[in-house]
Structure 1
Amino acid sequence: MPFIPSFSLRTSLFALLVTAGITPIAAADGDISFRRAAAIAKQYVRLSTTAQRTLKSRTLSNRTGAPYYLFNDAGNNGFVLVSGNEAMGSILAVGTEAPLDTLHAPEGLQYLLEAYRERFQTVQKMSAADRKRYFTTFATNNSYTPVTPLLKSKWGQGYPYNNSVGGYPTGCVATAVAQIMYFHRWPEQGTGTKTYRTYDGNTAQIDFSQSRYAWNLMHDSYDRRNLTDDERNAIGKLHHDIGAAVDM
């Protein structure tokens, strides 16, 4: 996965770059230095002691060339991912509940961060005029209305969500769709049929009209929860049916 500097750890971006023998990409117009990234990050998180020490070093704090900077909150109450170039916008991601664990990042997050890295490399190759055009686009379209998360559920792909799929992971699409359906508590009953291929290569058919979804037996979180058979079956059936519907 791409290198992601985490300043809640006992290292700093450029110290690690030097000791690892990695040379930052040559600076381009609009590149964001560590010092500027830290100033942006302070609007969202409390900087760690390590990050503050890095700021005291003019050599380290003024360096550029990183595709992004990750600042985890000193109190582990969130994170902010700051862009490495203005043409990508200033903020790539913000979390308000927990730090971002880059050492155990799921595949989807790794893919997203790699995409940011590739985008940064593309920006480095742009002409000054193109970079200015991209920056102007972000600078003139940065107004937004903050809202709290609509979804309260925090579901995964393992137990008990996979209760009806033979112990296999439910699949990321099934888990995402399931949470949206749970938010709306809809539908109460399925419609239509679907022929799909199972994990073992067999063909199966499902009649969704035979499925009723017991939303009242589902929960926002299942961490260490003792479940009844009905509760396990309710969450399992929902994920099973969605998985079949989207060919997971």
Structure 2
Amino acid sequence: MTQGRQSEEIPNFSTKFNLRSKNQSKLEKRFLHAPRSMKTKIILAILLAFSFHNRLSGEQVPPEKAKTAAVNFLKLNPSSRLKGAAAVDLEPVSYSTTRTFASAGKKSAAGNEELLYIFNLTGSEGFIIISGDDMATPVLGYSFESGFDVTDVPLNFRKWMEGYKDQIRYIRAHPGEASAAKEEWTSLLEGRDSGIKSSAATVAPLVGTQWDQSPYVNDLCPYDYEYGERTVTGCAATAMAQIMKYWNYPKGGSGFHSYEHDVYGTLSANFGTTEFDWTSMPDVVGSPNQAVATLMYNCGVSIDMNYGPASSGGSGAYVIIERSPVTHCVEYALEKYFNYDPSARGVQRANYSDAAWTSLLKEELNAGRPIEYAGFGSGGHAFVCDGYDSNDFFHFNWGWGGYYDGYFASDALDPGGTGIGGGSGGYNYYQQALVGIKPPVGQLSYD
């Protein structure tokens, strides 16, 4: 629309909208012979309708605006180490052409639009993820613990990013369900901190370990002769082991378990005769370590780990009883074989409103209890949730040697109400959490 004073001539709406109905001439006559005040009201009503539609419709965020939002967030965020910085240098991550992380940065088939942007901090460790649509939450995650390396991205992280993308696709198809995000975008782009959620309460990451799925930590896992490499520990066992290390419990397990693997045959562990040497387990495993390898293997067997080498897709297992088709999952094994408090329980996000889910996770973390979190697929891709910042972003330890650990939004939408957990298209992706993980009362740890 051109700017400036408009002509007094009344537009021919039948021509403008190509009305070809039987009653077209009647409509024209009624409009053209109506009092001027009535014509004005009709025009205003039509303009208001268009305005309302535009306000509810999302817009693709261009790269320069995404970068501005990223810089302002890092400078204004109370939890950012760059808060108040005079300048923040960011470098866009070009990841759409890599095989490892091909789908995260590719343009969507519908509309050829970016779904999200990733920027690395220039000259230091860290990255930030920005939504590609102004109807979605502006900032999806950030880290000061590692850069974003597109050649080495863990599967659980990739699946989490896929969830963000699908949520953004959803809100583009249902724009009226998340209008609150537009106000956040406006404030953030203008450099006002009103666009940043801020809470005085925070919990710094509880888990100090940065364990990976290989090498060294998997020295006792089955060897695959076809691929010529040892199988990896699996994300569920890695998260489980890191939480057990946090508690330094138990001194030893209980019972025995054996199961048949399709490729590697009978896999067994005698938990009752195994002692865990907690003091010999470092935060970072950079050389062979029998103590960590023993813990990892025992965790894997206890949950019927479907072992596999990294090059064939890795190892997998289940976290909570409610989602597991087999008895042996993390929830079951912690109590059965490792004598953890029976009050631990698996919960699914689909059964909670957004507010209730956030409150549940924060209550656990406030109590000093790390959470084993999973989602995206019937079996899930597990990791540790062990803190939150002033924006209610949760800290995730992905079990990938510290890489990609950082703070992330629980979803890309900000709809309120039941939200993404209880509705909004069902994009909760089987998100689930094992809460209440702790030793029995009176047996807090073995240092």
TM-score by shorter chain over 0.5:
yes
Equivalence for 1:243: 300
Contact 1:30 1:131 in 2 (8 A): no
Change beyond 3 A, Cα 1:92–1:50:
closer
**3-state SS of 1:103 partner:** coil
Change beyond 3 A, Cα 1:185–1:153:
same
**3-state SS of 1:99 partner:** coil
Q: 2:166 aligns with which of 118, 122, 125?
A: 118
- Give the Å deviation of 1:96: 0.3
Contact 1:178 1:239 in 2 (8 A): yes
Q: How do residues 52-63 of structure 1 correspond to structure 2 at under 5 angstroms?
A: none
Equivalence for 1:4: none
Change beyond 3 A, Cα 1:49–1:133:
closer
Q: How do residues 1-248 of structure 1 correspond to structure 2 at under 5 angstroms?
A: 28-29=57-58, 31-42=60-71, 43-44=73-74, 46-48=88-90, 65-126=113-174, 128-132=175-179, 142-144=197-199, 145-166=201-222, 167-198=230-261, 200-223=263-286, 225=287, 227=288, 232-248=289-305
Point out which structure has higher relative CO (alpha carbons under 8 A, 6+ apart).
Answer: 2
**3-state SS of 1:104 partner:** coil
- Give the Å deviation of 1:159: 2.5
Change beyond 3 A, Cα 1:101–1:28:
farther
Larger Rg: 2
Q: How far apart are the structure 1 equivalents of 2:209 and 2:92?
A: 34
| Percent identity over paired residues | 23
Q: Deviations over 1:129-179 (max 9, x none)?
A: 223267799x99944444332222111112311121133211111111111
Change beyond 3 A, Cα 1:242–1:141:
farther
Give ranges in structure 1 of 5+ residues lacking alignment.
Answer: 1-26, 52-63
Q: CA RMSD for the aligned pairs?
A: 3.2
Change beyond 3 A, Cα 1:67–1:152:
same
Q: Deviations over 1:35-70 (max 9, x none)?
A: 33222211327223779xxxxxxxxxxxx9421111
Contact 1:29 1:131 in 2 (8 A): no
Q: Deviations over 1:67-104 (max 9, x none)?
A: 11111101132011011234431221111022111233
Equivalence for 1:12: none
Contact 1:178 1:238 in 2 (8 A): yes
Higher helix share: 1
**3-state SS of 1:98 partner:** coil
Change beyond 3 A, Cα 1:69–1:146:
farther
Q: How far apart are the structure 2 equivalents of 1:50 and 1:168?
A: 34
- Per the normalisation by structure 2, the TM-score is 0.41
**3-state SS of 1:88 partner:** coil
